[in-house]
Structure 1
């Protein structure tokens, strides 16, 4: 594991606004107190942050609305909006236009580099399956974005008239799929597995770090040795936000 830096604020709230949900992570110093998901801040926690680190992949309009709602809840908290940059926390960004790298991917890469200190493949499998590669020197080499399992299934259903099935038809079976439900769900899963397997063939000696709801199950099916870090983006936000605060003080 990498070295630990002393926190610059006693209480930190990380707001990770993804495409489908918002993840709130509360820190006391370097310790994670709790993690919750929802569209609004959970008001029953009794937690009042000194500083809020805000990372959003949503549109500017939706991000601004969320920003206003949370800031109204904590008007006295310092606020830091995190954006992808060419260099942060010892990591260089592979993108020619660094601000166009999704902030969730950027924070995941930074956290993985600091936690592992080796050549790393970072897999975040949620709404989309995102893969990024960073070497032990902190050079982000680039990465991929592919549809997640649910997105693949929904896209197939939305573009066809006769591929339909009920939720209770999605069952596990042996051999080739023998129902539409199995054909779709297992077909999408095989596509995702093939994508990840090809990347593993290219980087077999790299350490694999995974986050996101589907990542561990997919990579486990391939027999890839991995480390699961469900709070990876929040840990990256803590590192980048603390660095920005240090630079401002």
Structure 2
């Protein structure tokens, strides 16, 4: 059994996998959790002993160092980091420099293809909103990165001296408060981008893609996006399970 670690921008997630499939419950710790390392030590100690530890990292180097220290201390195993490459488990990166494609995006597409969802658009909403188009043959056709609705609002509040909010706004089409206008503008812009990207992808893929929504804020985004969509939780961990299993076979 493998232990899988997803080191995101705001939190660490982990689960166990047998072969190419996630088998255990998903645990999570936010990076700003008090006593982060001691709590992670306890969580790792409570797991069945894994055969190997695989991780996907988009977090800062200091966060990665924290996790490495905990894994080495508790499990006595050296984790293996998955890096972005030109081709991974049947997914062919569109990037001119494949190593620069975020490993979270690549693994999300590996998971989508492994689940039989290609051709698809994968929209993942966390710190950023990322959009990727994947054709039926596993070719990544490209994608977009934009600030998440939360980050959009933070950026505007930080740059506009006379714009301030007293509470979290609602999402409505005709806002009559600054709070609602700011929240609505950010969330509806994100939803509109997802819809437009899906439309453009249909032409590029020469097929109507399935729209998959991943990331912590995916349920809220789904409520705003018109048309059919499917929640695709834990995409990075699911893709990492497939990649780790393929790596074992190669070894």
> Which category of TM-score, normalised to the shorter sequence, fits these structures?
0.7 to 0.9
1:213 corresponds, among 216, 223, 234, to 216
Are 1:118 and 2:118 matched, yes or no?
A: yes
**Worse overlay, 207-216 or 151-160:** 207-216
**Alignment-derived partner of residue 226 in structure 2:** 223
**Alignment-derived partner of residue 35 in structure 1:** 26
TM-fit CA distance, 1:65 = 3.5
**Alignment-derived partner of residue 181 in structure 1:** 179
CA deviation vs aligned residue, 1:210-248 (integer Å, no higher than 9, x gap): 111222332332222122121111010011111112111
1:235 corresponds, among 230, 234, 238, to 238
Write the mapping of 1:28-177 to structure 2, written as runs, cut at 5 A.
28=18, 30-38=21-29, 39=31, 40=37, 41=40, 43-44=42-43, 45-75=46-76, 77=77, 79-167=79-167, 170-171=169-170, 176-177=174-175
Distance 1:231 1:172, change over 3 A: closer
Moved >4 Å (runs of 4+): none
Listed as ranges, the gaps of 5+ residues in structure 1 are 1-10
RMSD: 1.9
Q: Find the residue that maps to 1:47 and give its secondary structure.
A: coil
**Alignment-derived partner of residue 203 in structure 1:** 201
Distance 1:23 1:170, change over 3 A: same
TM-fit CA distance, 1:172 = 5.6
TM-fit CA distance, 1:170 = 2.6
TM-fit CA distance, 1:171 = 4.1
TM-fit CA distance, 1:63 = 2.1
TM-fit CA distance, 1:180 = 0.9
Measure the CA separation in 2 of the matches of 1:220 and 1:178.
21
Measure the CA separation in 1 of the matches of 2:226 and 2:41.
38
* 8 Å Cα contact 2:41-2:74 kept in structure 1: no
CA deviation vs aligned residue, 1:122-161 (integer Å, no higher than 9, x gap): 1101111011111110111111111001111111111122
TM-fit CA distance, 1:164 = 1.3
Listed as ranges, the gaps of 5+ residues in structure 2 are 32-36, 203-207
* 8 Å Cα contact 1:50-1:78 kept in structure 2: no
Q: Find the residue that maps to 1:222 and give its secondary structure.
A: coil
CA deviation vs aligned residue, 1:48-70 (integer Å, no higher than 9, x gap): 22211111012344423422222
Measure the CA separation in 1 of the matches of 2:248 and 2:18.
16
TM-fit CA distance, 1:78 = 5.3
